Amino acid sequence: KAGVTQTPRYLIKTRGQQVTLSCSPISGHRSVSWYQQTPGQGLQFLFEYFSETQRNKGNFPGRFSGRQFSNSRSEMNVSTLELGDSALYLCASRISGGLGGELFFGEGSRLTVL
């Protein structure tokens, strides 16, 4: 059974550009979450989607956005990139929208902003 797949795995952008990251959840999983990992701030919640609806959003500026498609695949977008956006972006999926389900993480997309 395939795990959570994220693309691209590595990318380099310059300040002011925008970036789109993609996540394919485990087959049958309908909830997709995104997290940002940096050495300084650790792991921080970005947002969560279930059945194409954003149900929760973390404390990030509006430059960070996301969406989920009918096949549960998700994308996140960061516009007007800043140096501080350099991070590992992790996508995670769980089978249902209920509480307590195990969260499975992808390998991440490592973004470097120059």
- Span of 19-27, 31-39, 65-73, 76-84 interacting with another protein by CB under 8 A: 31-39
E-assigned strands of the chain? Answer: 5-7, 10-13, 19-24, 31-38, 42-50, 53-57, 64-68, 74-78, 87-94, 104-105, 109-113
Indicate which single residue of 30, 67, 75, 105 sits in contact with another protein (rule: CB under 8 A).
105
Phi-psi group of 39: left, alpha or beta (phi > 0 → left; psi -120 to 50 → alpha; rest → beta): alpha
Binding residues for another protein, how many (CB under 8 A)?
24
- Span of 20-28, 43-51, 67-75, 76-84 interacting with another protein by CB under 8 A: 43-51
- Taking the least distance from each CB to another protein, the nearer of 75 and 97 is 97
3-state secondary structure of 85: helix
- Site for another protein, rule CB under 8 A: 31, 33, 35, 42-45, 48, 50, 55-56, 58, 90, 92, 97, 99-100, 102-108
